[in-house]
Amino acid sequence: MAEPRLLDDDLVSQARGGDAEARNELVRRHRAAAYRFALQLTGNREDAADVTQEAMIRFLDTLQRFEDGRPVLPWLFRIVRNKSYDLGRRQKVRRAESLDELLEKGMPAPVQRDGDPAARLERRDLRRRVWSALGRLPDKQREILVLREYQDLSYGEIGSVLGVPTGTVMSRLHRARRALRDLLAEPDRREGRVR
Amino acid sequence: MNEYRKTPFDESLFSGYLDGELTQAEEQKVRLHLEDDPEARALVAELRAIRQAARSTRLAAPADEEWREAPRSGASRFLRRSGWLLAIGWAVAVLGFALWGAATSPESWWERALVAGAVGGPLLLFSSVLLDRLKVMKTDRYGRVRR
């Protein structure tokens, strides 16, 4: 019979006590989420891999300061966010890859399963345009949209990553959504397209 | 005019509404506003479509076996880059010296060819490794992670 999966809390306690296997398990468990978040912030795989590596080192180094009972992901995302900005300051220019190169292969999203090819194409096109517009937003707006739309964090968790109250999360998120929508509307207006 | 219209409507409530993060009273307030305002309905519909597009995007992440080594530190990467720069500098210096030596040497042509072969062979091999390495850096997604 397989051993029951340990909770993050237990792993964190064991890792703090010097258990190497617990440290490895924490890394294995959360590395993909950290990588995806880094990818959404940096826009390219190479930088995302670098940021993830550095963030995981920092995460393990700071486990002693981690508060018991708190979820691991917001803490880790906070580190990823800081590391991404450090990298952004060094590089100055954001090198974004196209969405098609970054998508999970062989795993269509649930909304693609309907039978209308035109609607499917339209949604795929919208996904590409959203990704591209996301890269043109200011960092603060991009990060909050990524945390909510792509990482599915609650307002409380987003507040914990960004260090702001929940009310601020809602207003900042709304400003970011409007800015994204305005960016998406620009080419539509120029080309006379109707969504 | 409805009662709720007496105070200015906080548009950020639309985001809370889409995300299911409002209290019952706030949600009711948004519903009433949407019933009354077609522009607001259009805005919420647009925001919902964008939200669904983003949420249905699944980005790939490296598989577990592609993260074989423990994370490499910044110091390690700095040393590796410095090593490559030194090696390239060494190769350029040796090649320049060899060319200058071959051009000015009083030895016979075959002696110069022997020296050129001894220097040129390893340099060509080094260049081949360097070119492969540069090519891999461009195309290998997780090259830095694996090594």
Looking at residue A115, what is its pLDDT?
62
Which chain A residues are within 8 Å of B144, Cβ to Cβ?
46, 49-50, 53
Looking at residue B43, what is its pLDDT?
94
Whether residues A86 and A47 fall in one domain: yes
A103 - beta bridge partners? B59
Nearest CA in chain B to A34: B61
- The domain of A80 spans 1-97
- For residue A146, which amino acid is it? V
> Nearest CB to A54: which of B21, B46, B74?
B74
Q: What is the CATH number of the domain that holds A37?
A: 1.10.1740.10
Q: Render chain A in DSSP notation, one character per residue.
A: -PPPPPPHHHHHHHHHTT-HHHHHHHHHHHHHHHHHHHHHHH-SHHHHHHHHHHHHHHHHHTGGGSPTTS-HHHHHHHHHHHHHHHHHHHH-S--PPPHHHHBPTT---GGGGSS-HHHHHHHHHHHHHHHHHHHHS-HHHHHHHIIIIIT---HHHHHHHHT--HHHHHHHHHHHHHHHHHHHHHHHHHHT---
Whether residues A9 and A60 fall in one domain: yes
> Nearest CB to B144: which of A32, A46, A184?
A46
Q: What is the CATH number of the domain that holds A176?
A: 1.10.10.10
pLDDT (tens digit per residue) in B112-136: 778 778 878 888 888 888 887 776 6
Whether residues A17 and A79 fall in one domain: yes
Chain A nearest C-alpha distance from B47 (Å): 7
Number of domains chain A contains: 2
Q: In the listed set A66, A97, A128, which residue is the last one of a domain according to the structure?
A: A97
pLDDT (tens digit per residue) in A142-171: 999 999 998 899 999 999 999 999 889 999
Chain B nearest C-alpha distance from A3 (Å): 20
Whether residues A192 and A133 fall in one domain: yes
ipTM: 0.78
- The whole-angstrom distance between residue A48's C-alpha and the CA centroid of its chain comes to 11
B14 touching A (Cβ < 8 Å): yes
Whether residues A81 and A120 fall in one domain: no
Which chain A residues are within 8 Å of B57, Cβ to Cβ?
99, 103, 109, 127, 130-131, 150
The helix/strand/coil state of B46 is: helix
Looking at residue B48, what is its pLDDT?
95
Which chain A residues are within 8 Å of B142, Cβ to Cβ?
45, 49
Cα–Cα dist A181/A179, whole Å = 5
> Nearest CB to A149: which of B21, B49, B54?
B54
B140 touching A (Cβ < 8 Å): no
B72 touching A (Cβ < 8 Å): yes
pLDDT (tens digit per residue) in B62-97: 887 777 555 555 566 678 778 888 888 888 888 788
Chain B nearest C-alpha distance from A53 (Å): 5
In a domain, A14, yes or no: yes
> Nearest CB to B47: which of A107, A111, A181?
A181
Which chain A residues are within 8 Å of B19, Cβ to Cβ?
148, 155, 173
In a domain, A103, yes or no: no
CB contact under 8 A, B51 and A40: no
In this prediction, residue A187 has a pLDDT band, given cuts at 50, 70 and 90, of low
Which chain B residues are within 8 Å of A157, Cβ to Cβ?
none
B7 vs A163: which has the higher pLDDT: A163
Whether residues A193 and A158 fall in one domain: yes
In a domain, A104, yes or no: no
Q: In the listed set A41, A66, A97, which residue is the last one of a domain according to the structure?
A: A97
Only one residue has tokens 């080594």, namely B69
